[in-house]
Structure 1
Amino acid sequence: MRILIAPDKFKGTLTARQAGEAMAAGVREVFPDAAIEIVPVADGGEGTLEAALATGGEERTETVQGPLGEGVEARWVLTGKTAVIETAEASGLRYVRPRVQSALSAHSYGSGQLIKAALDAGAQEIICGVGGSAMTDAGSGALRALGLRVMNNDGARARLGGAALSTALRIDDSGLDPRLKDVQIRIAADVTNPLYGPDGAAQVFGAQKGADAAARSILDDGLRHWAELLHKTNGTDVQIPGAGAAGGFPASFLAFTTATLESGFDLVAELVQLEKALDGVDLLITGEGSMDEQSRFGKAPLAAADRANARRIGTVLAVGRSTLNLEDVTGHGVKALAAAVDCAPSVDEAIAEADRYLQQATVVALRNLDEG
Structure 2
Amino acid sequence: MTNTRTSPRPPVVVIAPDSFKGSLTAEEVAAAIGAGIQAAIPDAQVRLRPIADGGEGTLDALMHAGGERLALSCRNAAGQLAEAPVGILKDGSAVIESASIVGLTDAAGTAVAVEQRSTLGVGDAMRQLLDRGARHFLVGLGGSSTNDGGAGLLAALGVKFFDDAGAEVAPRPAELHRVARVDAAGLDARIGQARIVAMSDVDNPLCGEIGATAVFGPQKGVTPQQVPLLDRSLAHFAAVLEKEMGLAAAGRPGAGAAGGLGYALLMLGGEFRSGAETVADHIGLDDALAGADWLITGEGRSDAQTLHGKAPFIASQRARRAGVPTTLLSGGIDRTSLDELQGSFSGCFSIVFGPGSLQDAIAGAPELLRASAEQMARLWQSAVGARR
TM-score by length of 2: 0.91
**Where do 1:1-372 residues align within 5 Å?**
1-79=11-89, 80-96=91-107, 102-237=113-248, 238-255=250-267, 257-324=268-335, 327-332=339-344, 334-342=345-353, 345-370=356-381, 372=383
8 Å Cα contact 2:96/2:140 also seen in 1 = yes
Distance in 1, matches of 2:284 and 2:130, equals 24
Distance in 1, matches of 2:21 and 2:146, equals 20
- Residue type at the aligned position of 2:33: M
Are the structure 2 counterparts of residues 345 and 88 from structure 1 closer, same or farther at C-alpha, using a change threshold of 3 Å? closer
- Residue type at the aligned position of 2:202: V
- Answer with 230-239 or 172-181: which moved more: 230-239
- Answer with 75-84 or 232-241: which moved more: 232-241
- Residue type at the aligned position of 1:7: P
Deviation at 1:326, TM superposition (A): 5.6
Distance in 2, matches of 1:137 and 1:69, equals 13
Q: Give the aligned length.
A: 370
Distance in 2, matches of 1:364 and 1:328, equals 24
- Residue in 1 that maps onto 2:6: none
8 Å Cα contact 2:102/2:109 also seen in 1 = no
Are the structure 2 counterparts of residues 346 and 104 from structure 1 closer, same or farther at C-alpha, using a change threshold of 3 Å? closer
8 Å Cα contact 2:135/2:193 also seen in 1 = yes
8 Å Cα contact 2:36/2:370 also seen in 1 = yes
**Bigger Rg, which one:** 2
Are the structure 2 counterparts of residues 97 and 217 from structure 1 closer, same or farther at C-alpha, using a change threshold of 3 Å? farther
Structure 1 gap segments, 5+ residues each: none
- Answer with 64-73 or 347-356: which moved more: 347-356
Give me the identity figure in percent.
Answer: 36
- Residue in 1 that maps onto 2:4: none
Are the structure 2 counterparts of residues 99 and 211 from structure 1 closer, same or farther at C-alpha, using a change threshold of 3 Å? farther
8 Å Cα contact 2:76/2:109 also seen in 1 = no
Deviation at 1:95, TM superposition (A): 2.5
Provide the aligned C-alpha RMSD in A. 1.8
Deviation at 1:328, TM superposition (A): 3.1
8 Å Cα contact 2:98/2:139 also seen in 1 = yes
Are the structure 2 counterparts of residues 59 and 346 from structure 1 closer, same or farther at C-alpha, using a change threshold of 3 Å? same
8 Å Cα contact 2:290/2:322 also seen in 1 = no
Distance in 2, matches of 1:179 and 1:228, equals 25
- Answer with 31-40 or 362-371: which moved more: 362-371
8 Å Cα contact 1:103/1:210 also seen in 2 = yes
Distance in 2, matches of 1:96 and 1:30, equals 42
Are the structure 2 counterparts of residues 326 and 205 from structure 1 closer, same or farther at C-alpha, using a change threshold of 3 Å? closer
Distance in 2, matches of 1:358 and 1:224, equals 45
8 Å Cα contact 1:196/1:202 also seen in 2 = yes
**Over residues 328-357 of structure 1, what are the superposed CA-to-partner deviations in whole Å (9 max), with x where a residue is unaligned?**
33432x223221123565544222211111
- Answer with 165-174 or 229-238: which moved more: 229-238
Distance in 2, matches of 1:121 and 1:271, equals 21
Distance in 2, matches of 1:166 and 1:345, equals 48
- Residue type at the aligned position of 1:304: A
Deviation at 1:369, TM superposition (A): 3.4
Distance in 1, matches of 2:137 and 2:283, equals 15
Are the structure 2 counterparts of residues 119 and 338 from structure 1 closer, same or farther at C-alpha, using a change threshold of 3 Å? same
- Answer with 15-24 or 355-364: which moved more: 355-364
8 Å Cα contact 2:78/2:109 also seen in 1 = no
**Over residues 244-274 of structure 1, what are the superposed CA-to-partner deviations in whole Å (9 max), with x where a residue is unaligned?**
000010212222x221111111111111121
Deviation at 1:297, TM superposition (A): 0.5
8 Å Cα contact 2:304/2:340 also seen in 1 = no
- Residue type at the aligned position of 1:35: Q
Structure 2 gap segments, 5+ residues each: 1-10, 384-388
8 Å Cα contact 1:59/1:76 also seen in 2 = yes
Deviation at 1:243, TM superposition (A): 0.6
8 Å Cα contact 1:77/1:84 also seen in 2 = yes
